[in-house]
């Protein structure tokens, strides 16, 4: 039987899930709702690792993703004089090498673009062979949900910002860690309790590229529990990432203020760092793509309530420091679509319970990092920075020797995924 599904959010999770579900049954009716007027193509660099590349290969999209990958050749840790302390190379898919750069690095916007265009192509192909004009996938931009009403028969009545009301068999919340859909479905108290702060304030923005920036990312530790990354990846601009574990009321409160107030708070927090301070603070103030937030994990006791289910960061954001957020989004999309395909419309509740159960090991693994562990990477003193530099040098030196000749190590991440022949994937 066919499903009528509303997916909220057109980032990575929403389109990936919609494509997978549509392949299981081309007669499904799938609507992807996005609050922005168009697909949002902003965002920083993300990496694809663990099960992510395998899922994209099964979807027939890995080659497209590879063609969009950035040219980042590794990471170097530098001191205040820009002297290299340690250098880490690219970690091949399936190997847990230390470092920042994985084999498949791509800008978030490029990843979203690939998924969006692929979903349109797939839908056009399916519609060309269908006699029912109501089936298929469609995008609705510039609207939001204002109310959800779970019916006794498990249908969900949705009220949209334009005043329309529609009924769905299932609502999928794929609208990120600050999910409005999660708050509507689970309640403000439960949604707020799921937010677990890591005590890290983060800002992202683009800078004009300078002459000595090429394909190596750079990391710098500064006194006062601050960290800076720059990533050029062969592009004409450089991505800057500022992180701090400073306890600052100004930083904690700035997210409720305007972008200009947020810029002021971060400029003040980083104005006296001992590496590229003028460039970073002036670039921050003039940037047009500045974004800041407090890093967190989203930990939900249950991933669904009635026929509303959480997908991706809305249900289990692991934090950017793990480098596993995109992987978890793809795993969640794959398992949710697989369980719905397996159980069918007559047993959506069982599909959602099974999705929750099968996701837990992946969620627990990706969320295993703790604020205490992260704090070790944010030393407050120069002595602490010296200790971290020494550790980075030792790890980089040992890692290079250890991994020589280990390129053929087996990648067993794909084996951890359940199999879903019901998805009718091309690979």
Give the DSSP letter string of 63-90: HHHHHH-----EEEEE-TT--EEEEE--
pLDDT tens-digit series, residues 134-170: 789 999 999 999 999 998 778 999 999 999 999 999 9
**Short-list 9, 33, 25, 5, CA closest to 171:** 5
Residues 6 or more apart from 278 whose CB is under 8 A from it? none
pLDDT of residue 193: 96
**370-408: buried (b, 16+ CB within 10 Å) or exposed (e) per residue?**
eeeebeebbbeeeeebeebbeebeebbeebeeebeeeee
pLDDT in tens, 109-127: 999 999 999 999 999 999 8
CA angle 178–180–185, rounded 5-degree value: 120
pLDDT at res. 99: 54
Q: Confidence class of residue 130 from pLDDT cuts 50, 70 and 90?
A: confident
Q: What is the pLDDT of residue 395?
A: 85
Stated as kind and residue range, the H or E segment containing 150 is: strand 145-150
State residue 369's pLDDT score. 84
Tell whether the model's pLDDT for residue 233 goes beyond 80: no
Q: How confident is the model at residue 427 (pLDDT cuts 50, 70, 90)?
A: confident
Please report which confidence band the pLDDT of residue 409 belongs to, taking 50, 70 and 90 as the band edges. very low
Given a cut of 60, is residue 100 above it in pLDDT? no
Which residue(s) pair with 82 in the sheet?
none
Residue 312, sorted as left (phi over 0), alpha (psi -120 to 50) or beta, turns out to be left
Q: Residue 148: which H helix or E strand, with range?
A: strand 145-150
What is the structure's pLDDT at 1?
A: 78
Q: Could you tell me the pTM of the whole model?
A: 0.91
What is the C-alpha separation between 218 and 78, in angstroms, rounded? 7
pLDDT at 203 over 90: yes
Q: Where are the domains of the chain?
A: 4-67+105-194+299-369+412-423, 195-296
Across 185-269, the runs of DSSP E, i.e. the strands, are 195-208, 216-222, 226-231, 237-244
Whole-number Å distance between alpha carbons of 89 and 76: 9
| Whether the Cβ atoms of residue 92 and residue 413 lie closer than 8 Å to each other | no
The answer on pLDDT for 15 being more than 60 is yes
Q: Is pLDDT of 213 > 80? A: no
Give the whole-angstrom CA distance, residue 65 versus residue 115.
9
- Sheet of strand 84-88, all strands in order from the earlier edge strand to the far edge: 84-88, 74-78, 216-222, 226-231, 237-244, 195-208, 291-298
Q: Residues 323-376: pLDDT tens digits? A: 889 999 999 999 999 999 999 888 999 999 999 999 999 999 999 888 888 888
Alpha-carbon distance 89 to 401, whole Å? 12
pLDDT score at 95: 52
Q: What is the pLDDT of residue 124?
A: 94
Distance CA 180, CA 69 (A): 31
From 138, 93, 142, select the one nearest 119 (Cα to Cα).
138
pLDDT score, position 175: 97
CATH architecture of 4-67+105-194+299-369+412-423: 3-Layer(bba) Sandwich (3.50)
Predicted local distance difference test score (pLDDT) of residue 408: 47
Confirm if 108 and 45 have CB atoms less than 8 A apart: yes
Share of the chain above pLDDT 70, in %: 93
**Extended beta strands in 209-322, E state:** 216-222, 226-231, 237-244, 291-298, 304-305, 308-310
φ/ψ (deg, to 5) at 418: -65, 155
Which CATH code fits 195-296? 3.30.9.30
**The pLDDT of residue 319:** 87
- Region of 108 on the Ramachandran plot (φ > 0 left; ψ -120 to 50 alpha; else beta): alpha
Angstrom distance (rounded) from CA 115 to CA 56: 10
Work out the number of other CB atoms within 10 angstroms of the CB of residue 424: 13
Q: Which tokens go with 174?
A: 């794929």
pLDDT at residue 90 tops 60: yes
pLDDT tens figures, 385-399: 999 999 989 888 876
In the predicted structure, residue 400 carries a pLDDT above the cut 70: no
How far apart CA 226 and CA 341 sit, in angstroms, is 47
pLDDT surpasses 70 at 404 = no
Confidence class of residue 101 from pLDDT cuts 50, 70 and 90? low
Q: Which residue has the tokens 């847990």?
A: 96
Q: For position 283, what pLDDT does the model report?
A: 93
Q: What pLDDT is recorded for position 301?
A: 96
Q: What is the mean pLDDT of residues 271-288?
A: 94
Q: Which of 175, 197, 200 is nearest to 185 (CA)?
A: 175
pLDDT attached to residue 212: 76
SS3 content of the chain, % helix, strand, coil (to 5): 40, 25, 35
Residue 215: per-residue pLDDT: 81
**What do you get for the CA distance between the two ends of the chain, in Å?**
25
Does residue 169 contact residue 345 with C-beta atoms inside 8 Å? yes
């Amino acid at each position: 039987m066919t499903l009528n599904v509303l997916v909220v959010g057109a980032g990575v999770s929403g389109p990936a899930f919609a494509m997978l579900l549509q392949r299981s049954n081309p007669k499904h009716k799938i609507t992807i709702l996005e609050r922005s007027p168009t697909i949002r193509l902003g965002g920083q660099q993300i990496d694809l690792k663990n099960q992510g590349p395998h899922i994209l290969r099964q979807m027939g999209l890995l080659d497209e993703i590879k063609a969009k990958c950035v040219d980042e050749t590794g990471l170097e840790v530098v001191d205040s004089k820009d002297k290299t302390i340690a250098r880490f190379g690219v970690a091949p898919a399936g190997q847990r090498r230390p470092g920042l750069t994985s084999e498949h690095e791509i800008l978030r916007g490029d990843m979203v673009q690939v998924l969006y265009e692929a979903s349109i192509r797939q839908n056009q192909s399916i519609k060309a062979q269908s006699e029912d004009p109501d089936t298929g996938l469609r995008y609705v931009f510039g609207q939001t949900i204002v109310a959800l009403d779970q019916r006794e028969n498990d249908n969900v009545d949705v009220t949209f910002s334009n005043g329309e009301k529609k009924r769905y068999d299932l609502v999928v919340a794929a609208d990120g860690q600050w999910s409005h859909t999660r708050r509507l479905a689970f309640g403000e108290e439960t949604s707020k309790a799921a937010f677990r702060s890591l005590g890290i304030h983060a800002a992202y923005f683009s800078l004009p590229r300078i002459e000595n920036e090429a394909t190596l990312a750079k990391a710098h530790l500064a006194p006062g529990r601050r960290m800076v990354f720059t990533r050029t990846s062969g592009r004409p601009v450089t991505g800057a990432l500022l992180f701090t574990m400073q306890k600052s009321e100004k930083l904690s409160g700035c997210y409720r203020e305007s972008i200009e107030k947020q810029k002021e708070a971060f400029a003040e927090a980083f104005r006296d760092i001992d590496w590229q301070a003028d460039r970073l603070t002036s670039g921050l103030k003039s940037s047009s793509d500045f974004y800041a937030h407090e890093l967190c994990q989203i930990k939900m006791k249950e991933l669904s309530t009635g026929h509303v289910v959480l997908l991706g960061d809305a249900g289990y954001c692991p934090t950017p420091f793990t480098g596993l957020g995109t992987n978890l989004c793809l795993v969640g999309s794959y398992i949710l679509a697989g369980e719905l395909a397996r159980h069918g419309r007559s047993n959506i509740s069982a599909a959602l319970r099974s999705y929750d159960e099968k996701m837990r090991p992946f969620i627990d693994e990706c969320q295993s990092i703790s604020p205490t562990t992260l704090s070790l990477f944010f030393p407050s003193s120069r002595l602490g920075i010296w200790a971290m530099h020494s550790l980075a040098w030792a790890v980089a030196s040992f890692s290079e020797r250890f991994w020589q000749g280990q390129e053929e190590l087996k990648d067993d991440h794909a084996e951890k995924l359940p199999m879903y022949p019901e998805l009718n994937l091309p690979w």
